[in-house]
A and B are shown apart, each in its own frame.
Chain A
């Protein structure tokens, strides 16, 4: 009856993260011992700068060891428009797969988060900018469905440049699709928590990322619907420093809390146990 396979998440010894920091934090320039950053959840122990996190590491950080079962990995991208710009879309996909070791920009897993069974989805910005194409939408949908079937809360970690342009209007429709998928949880009275990481923009920000019951954001993450460059070009407005940052979003009432990555698992588990408290009887 298992609809998914349980596999151990391999903690990658040498993750293909963009910033292998070498000796110094790129933000505060403090010297870092070998492997120090990885052990510190990729948060600089000196200045608390949050480095980008590969999806597998995110899952390993949030999920209880040995509890992770990936689902929907069989959902794979096609090229519905035969899209060619300076490269073909299939070329871009295979490069992204090769460079990241990921099957797509969104990983879906069932796991426990500090003992709370949950459905966890993670976007990985390294895969074509975490852009939302049909696969992201369908994996999100299958994850939401699995959450409803097993009465688990949904947790989604967003980090995205927005639309998957190469899928044209199919990409835009994923905004509607993911929003409808979230309604499945709402109808079943199951909680949905979104965690917004750097950057969360465009169609992801204007769909499932902003309709969660509770929205958490990582420090220093930047969120916007239109990009800063477009805003400055169109309106000739000068944007203040920190525009669109988590801290600014908190001030403007757009997120519930800014949570340091080192407290994220604990705060998330607390939130989930509150919201699930009424249904599990404990």
Chain B
């Protein structure tokens, strides 16, 4: 699992992260959850199938589990907008997170989205505000929180479900502020430069671990997660369990303080004349 500084390696990771057979949230639920009660709707407008979630037993632990679901078949992908959530999807996430907090259940999120849904109704329905409030809600939760980037971590639409005490990434998943294609079109003015952009953006898990932006890289089976769903889910489940065990040992107000501190320290800058 090397760094992805060369365009070829970076692009291979992007392809693996987007692989149609790569396990998605519902596959993890099928593999690692013994009980699952799906909950629906944002209680304001609708139910967004790009985000699924509910009450789950992972190992021996009751949690609130949610994640993006892109879909495997074309029909499912269309129903779920390829995992691109609308405001009601983020509001559903907020609602479920608060439910977890209210009943002292840890909140686990699985992230796999190209980004937020770019549409007229989504924008007019408050897409930006919904993402911002989701970030705010997850930042403030008094229960332990763990995020796993399982595929594509696409920009603000990913971050809305990715503010957590611990952020884990599967080895061949990617996480980026903008899609490599979008970046290539903007600065190279050439979508064909996407591989170059992917390398420049350092979208790979190893790179992001080195930069201190994520906490753990979870190895995948040889060939990628899609080769063996069961083994991948087992590894993911083990890491979630480890992270939660550690977090449960921390006093809730201290855990919140540490989470705030972590995000307030995010960034890379110089101070010209001391602090």
Contact = CB atoms under 8 A, between A and B. Distances in A.
Interface in B116-132: 116, 118-120, 123-129, 131-132
B195 interface: no
Contacts of A207: 131-132, 135, 156
Contact of B133 (A78, A211, A224): A211
Interface stretch (A42-50, A110-118, A229-237): A229-237
Contacts of B197: 85
A209 B132 contact: yes
Interface stretch (A119-127, A148-156, A170-178, A261-269): A170-178
B242 interface: no
A181 interface: yes
A134 to B, nearest CB: 3
A181 B139 CA distance: 11
B273 A180 contact: no
Contacts of A167: 177, 268
Contacts of B175: 169
B190 to A, nearest CB: 10
A211 B137 CA distance: 11
B266 interface: yes
Interface residues of B, number: 55
Interface in B90-133: 115-116, 118-120, 123-129, 131-133
B68 to A, nearest CB: 16
Interface in A123-181: 134-135, 137-138, 141, 163, 165, 167-177, 179-181
A170 B268 contact: yes
Given A175-B156, A179-B135, A169 B274 contact: no
Contacts of A210: 126, 128-129, 132-133
Interface stretch (A7-15, A29-37, A52-60, A248-256): A248-256
A272 to B, nearest CB: 22
Given A85-B188, A176-B135, A211-B132, A226 B268 contact: no
B146 interface: no
Given A85-B187, A170-B213, A177 B263 contact: yes
A225 B177 contact: no
B62 to A, nearest CB: 27
B134 to A, nearest CB: 9
B151 to A, nearest CB: 16
Contact of A208 (B132, B202, B203, B264): B132
A245 B163 CA distance: 30
B1 interface: no
A172 B269 contact: no
Contacts of B177: 163, 165, 167-169, 171-172, 203
Given A176-B135, A176-B159, A244-B123, A74 B271 contact: yes
Nearest to B184: A85
Given A74-B273, A176-B139, A209-B128, A84 B159 contact: no
B200 interface: yes
Given A135-B269, A165-B187, A224 B136 contact: no
A172 B116 CA distance: 14
B168 interface: no
A205 B159 contact: no
Contact of A206 (B120, B124, B132, B196): B132
Given A173-B213, A176-B159, A206-B156, A243 B267 contact: no
Given A175-B156, A176-B266, A211-B132, 18 more contacts: A74-B273, A76-B270, A81-B211, A85-B200, A138-B269, A163-B178, A169-B208, A172-B177, A175-B132, A176-B263, A177-B264, A180-B139, A180-B264, A183-B139, A206-B156, A210-B132, A226-B127, A254-B128
The 9 A-B pairs of least Cβ separation, nearest first, read A226-B118, A134-B267, A80-B268, A210-B129, A173-B266, A172-B177, A206-B131, A206-B128, A85-B187
Interface of B: 115-116, 118-120, 123-129, 131-133, 135-136, 139-140, 155-156, 159-160, 163, 175-178, 182-183, 186-188, 196-197, 200-203, 208, 211, 213, 260, 263-264, 266-275
